[in-house]
Amino acid sequence: MKTLTLTRPDDWHVHVRNGAVLTTVLPHTARQFARAIIMPNLKPPVATVAQAQAYREEILQAIPDGRDFTPLMTLYLTAATSEAEIKLAAEADFIHAVKLYPAGATTHSDAGVGNIGQIYPLLAALERHGLPLLVHGEVSDDDCDIFDRERVFIERHLNAITKEFPALRLVLEHVTTSEAVQFVEAASANVAATITPQHLLFNRNAILAGGIRPHYYCLPVLKRERHRLALLKAATSGNPKFFLGTDSAPHLTNLKETACGCAGCFSAPAALELYAEAFEQVGALDKLEGFASFYGADFYRLPRNSGTVTLAKSAWQIPTVYGDEDVVITPLKSGETLSWKML
């Protein structure tokens, strides 16, 4: 059987939620990844070092016995965040970044930043302290077409931010367009990007052609095929600015299969397998280890993992749902056959 062995990978962007959803989803991430950057968009948001510490404790409790997994915590940047809190975050060894959500851009982003100009003093503090800024790069204006929101965010905000704060370490999260790829490639070595499995595998037809498929709906929304091809090229290029971040974003099935469904794809149960499928499409399985296991750690200035994981070319059917009677979550590619399986 064909197999692929990689240094243990990390997930540089994941939503694990809290409460019963946390205990349902975390074992999947902890099985595949050694570490993960934990997104702070809970309700209320994880906006202080004390809240991040409490959330970290809750996550640690949910790790199955015997699993070696480290949550890397982040703070949610709000208009009320102080420079003192950023200093505290930079001093806390368990906090690795601060996340910027433009208000209204995505799930639980109402506490996010309305006026990006107003947070420049905070960006200066992040730059000074060397703490990375993770960016949800979409404008949220009603009059901006949803398929243009990432490109417009880059033009309107990111060009200015990287110019004003050249030493700021910045990750443009879950990039979805050729314009985002070009922006990251042209920026300094302080700027990187994560790429999700769904944006490497699917274009917007997956959501809308032949019927509306809510489990393919996430934000930023899937784009045209030419954008998918640009992302696949970037991910498999060996350029260390592009690394793995699943953006696995579980929502209860009934909250996605409804008149106004939530944004987010739950990819954690088969994340590595999905990436392997995408890399194999372009004959680039030899580039998966750098993308999944090296470049993110290097960017975050953390040691690369020891140990390995092995995938086998062995077809299996992903369950239609995960959870129990109280928590039902539909995974990406629910009920479909995957060609790689993590052993």
* Contacts with Zn ion, residue ranges (CB under 5 A): 247
C-beta of 27 vs 250, nearer to ligand NCD: 250
Q: Closest Cα partner for 11 from 296, 294, 245, 308?
A: 245
To Zn ion, the closest distance from the beta carbon of 247 in angstroms equals 4
Using CB under 6 A as the binding rule, the residues of this chain from 270 to 329 that contact ligand NCD are none
Partner whose footprint covers residue 106, from ligand NCD, Zn ion, none (CB < 5 to 8 Å by kind): ligand NCD
Q: Give the CB-nearest residue to Zn ion.
A: 247
CA gap 13, 68 in Å, rounded: 18
The one-letter amino acid at 331: P
Estimate to the nearest angstrom the gap between the alpha carbon of 36 and the chain centroid.
9
Token pair listed for 156: 């309107």
CA gap 234, 243 in Å, rounded: 9
Using CB under 6 A as the binding rule, the residues of this chain from 99 to 128 that contact ligand NCD are 106-107
CA gap 251, 21 in Å, rounded: 8
CA gap 88, 74 in Å, rounded: 12
Q: Say whether residue 236 binds ligand NCD (CB under 6 A).
A: no
C-beta of 7 vs 194, nearer to Zn ion: 194
DSSP state of 317: E
Partner whose footprint covers residue 227, from Zn ion, ligand NCD, none (CB < 5 to 8 Å by kind): none
C-beta of 62 vs 218, nearer to ligand NCD: 218
The one-letter amino acid at 115: N
68 is catalytic: no
Question: Binder to ligand NCD among 34, 89, 126, 219 (CB under 6 A)?
Answer: 219
C-beta of 219 vs 297, nearer to Zn ion: 219
Mapped onto helix, strand or coil, the DSSP state of residue 219 is coil
Q: Which of 10, 148, 247, 286 is catalytic?
A: 247
Mapped onto helix, strand or coil, the DSSP state of residue 86 is helix
Q: Closest Cα partner for 147 from 179, 103, 185?
A: 179
Question: Binder to ligand NCD among 38, 235, 249, 276 (CB under 6 A)?
Answer: 249
CA gap 332, 174 in Å, rounded: 16
Question: Binder to ligand NCD among 152, 263, 302, 328 (CB under 6 A)?
Answer: 263
Question: Binder to ligand NCD among 72, 171, 218, 276 (CB under 6 A)?
Answer: 218
Question: Using CB under 6 A as the criterion, which residues of the chain lie in contact with ligand NCD when the complex forms?
Answer: 15, 41, 106-107, 136, 218-219, 247, 249, 263-264
Q: Which residues participate in catalysis according to the annotation?
A: 247
